[in-house]
Amino acid sequence: MKKKKLINKGYVSHHLLSNDQIKIIKKKIIYYYDLKKKINYNKKICKLYNKDPIKAGNRYDLLNLDLDIQAIFYSKSVVNKIKKLFSNKNSAKQIHVGIADFQILVMLPNTKKEYLGWHQDSAYFEYSSKLHSNLVVWTPISMTSKKVNGSLDLIEQSNKKGLIKHEENLIKKRKKVSLNKRGRYFINENKINIKNKINIKIESGKSLIFDANMIHRTSQDHKKSEDIRFTLIARYKCLNKLMIN
């Protein structure tokens, strides 16, 4: 695990999950979306979302609530790797970690409905203001390929500025504004140093881990794809840095 890279740049990519853990996630997707062998998984799921969005939403909710999937991100093997990223001078064994939030997002092919503009995750959730006390684990899963649909744009070292003031969209406007302003909260582009923008592509099953104050967005470099991206997002807190002496 490249701890120094995380501290210096605010992000690192890593094979956080084992092959067996990835298999569990895929089996659960197959189960909840009622996928059978010898069918096109992507077409079947897209058809469900187009023809019966209520049923598709129900399957999505069940996937998010599944304890076996969530247990992967609570597991000792994963948590120990997260502890090493939080540890600096202290031994990883002395680090206490809590999970602040977990969710699964589904990105259908050839659509921009689920895009988010420039933002920090710390704007959406109650985080400590201390640097590196909160990490976001972003893990994309493809059912059919090592490549996944889409990527993220990051602003390198932007996490060092701490929480930046965000603008807020009204519910009715969140998916109607320009791509840079999508979502509940967004940062105006005039507050962002675009020169430090980098595009990060992560293969299926690998994790991008970044500071909660990292400015990022759904990349607009969108190529046509028939692939569905299931993105598992876990957010961790370093409890040591929240303790009151």
86: CATH = 2.60.120.620
Beta-carbon count within 10 A of 183 CB: 21
The tens digit of pLDDT for each residue in 175-233 reads 677 777 787 888 888 888 888 899 999 999 999 999 999 999 988 876 667 789 999 99
Q: Is the distance from CB of 104 to CB of 202 less than 8 angstroms?
A: no
Beta-carbon count within 10 A of 101 CB: 14
* Secondary structure of residue 98 in the 3-state scheme: strand
User: pTM higher than 0.85, yes or no?
Assistant: yes
Those residues with Cβ within 8 angstroms of residue 99's Cβ, 6 or more apart along the chain or in another chain: 73, 74, 234, 235, 236, 237
The tens digit of pLDDT for each residue in 119-165 reads 999 888 765 555 556 899 999 999 988 988 888 999 998 988 888 88
Structure tokens at 243: 């303790």
What residue numbers bound the domain in which 173 lies?
3-242
What are the two backbone dihedrals, phi and then psi, of residue 167, each rounded to the nearest 5 degrees? -90, 155
Count up the domains in the chain and report the number.
Answer: 1
Q: How far apart are CA 224 and CA 209, in angstroms?
A: 26
Q: Is the distance from CB of 213 to CB of 165 less than 8 angstroms?
A: no
